[in-house]
Amino acid sequence: METPEQIEAQPAEKSENIRRGIYILPNLITAGSLFAGFYSMVATLNGNYGSAAIWIFISAICDGLDGKVARMTNSTSQFGVEFDSLADLVAFGVTPGLMMYAWALKPFGRLGWLAAFLFVVCGALRLARFNVQVNTVESKRFVGLPIPAAASMVASTVLLFNHFGWPSSYKKLAILALIYLLAFLMVSSVKYYSFKDPELIKKQPFGFLVLAVVLLIIVAAEPAVMVFVIMLSYVLSGPIGQLLSWPRRRRLEKAIHKGHEELLHDHVVKSGDES
C-alpha cells in the first residue's frame, strides 16, 4: 500500500519529467496542425470556405506526419499523445463543424446547429475511445471512422461545390444527412483500414507503382472531384466491408456457439458417468 508521502510524490515526479523537457519536432508538427485548424476557422468566419477546406487538408497532412516522425525518431511520449488529441478535436471536430454550419446548415435553424454539435461531440467521443483502446485494438484497423477522415470528407464536399460553382443551398438536405452519417460512423464499431500495415512499405509488384502514378495523374487533373471520390470511397468502405464480411462472421459465431454446446454436452456426459 502506498504511503501519503509516495502519493504526494507522484504528481511532483510527473511535473519534474515535463520540466526536464519535451520532444520538439513531433510536437511542433502537432502545433502546425492546430494552427492550420485555427486558421481554417478564421477563413470560415471571413466567408472564405474554399480556403477553410484547404487548411483542413493541410492540418490532416500535419496530423499524419507527427505520429510517424515521433515513431521514426523514437520520440513518442504521453505528452505528445495528449497534445495530439486536443489538436485533433479542434482541427477536425470544432473547425469542420463550424465551417459546415456557417456554409450550409444555418438555414436549418436548430436542426442545423445540432447537426454541427453532434459532429463535434461524436468526434470527441471517437478520440477518447481511441486513446483508451489504442493498446487493445489491432493497428491495421480503426474502430469507427477516424475524425481526420470525417473532417476531410467535409472539406472535400465544400471543395467539390466550389469547383462546380454550386451554391451551398444546392442539395442541402444531402449535406445535412452527410453530417449525421459521419457523426454516426465515428462512434460506430465499423472497422476502417488504418494504412499502418508494415507490408505497405515493403516490396510490391511493379503494377502497383503504375497504378499509383496513374492515380496521381487523375487526381492532379481533377483534384476537387477526385479527392471527393477518394474520401467518399473511404467513408463507404467501412459499412460495405462490414456487410460483405457479415456472412463469414455469422458462420464463425455459429461455429463457436456449436463448439461451446458440444463442450458443455461432453462435460455433462462425463459428470454423469463419474456419478
Q: What does the pLDDT read at residue 275?
A: 54
Mean pLDDT score across all residues of the chain: 83
Question: Is the pLDDT confidence value at 270 over 80?
Answer: no
How far apart, in whole angstroms, are the C-alpha atoms of residue 13 and residue 28? 24
In degrees rounded to 5, what are phi and psi of residue 77? -155, 160
How far apart, in whole angstroms, are the C-alpha atoms of residue 85 and residue 79? 10
Question: Is the pLDDT confidence value at 3 over 60?
Answer: no
Whole-Å CA distances, 107 to 165, 175, 198 = 19, 12, 46
Q: What does the pLDDT read at residue 219?
A: 84
Range of weakest confidence among 6-10, 23-27, 142-146, 235-239: 6-10
Whole-Å CA distances, 22 to 12, 77, 128, 131 = 16, 8, 23, 20
Q: What does the pLDDT read at residue 14?
A: 46
Please, which pLDDT band fits residue 16 given cuts at 50, 70 and 90?
very low
How far apart, in whole angstroms, are the C-alpha atoms of residue 52 and residue 94? 13
Mean pLDDT: which of 56-60, 203-207, 254-258 is highest?
A: 56-60
- The percent of residues above 70 in pLDDT, for the chain, comes to 78
Question: Is the pLDDT confidence value at 12 over 60?
Answer: no
Q: What does the pLDDT read at residue 209?
A: 79
Radius of gyration (Cα) for the chain, nearest Å? Answer: 24
Question: Is the pLDDT confidence value at 95 over 70?
Answer: yes
> In terms of pLDDT, which residue wins out, 155 or 70?
155
- The percent of residues above 90 in pLDDT, for the chain, comes to 47
In degrees rounded to 5, what are phi and psi of residue 191? -90, 135
Q: What does the pLDDT read at residue 168?
A: 75
In degrees rounded to 5, what are phi and psi of residue 137? -110, 140
How far apart, in whole angstroms, are the C-alpha atoms of residue 210 and residue 228? 22
Cell numbers of 204, please?
510490391
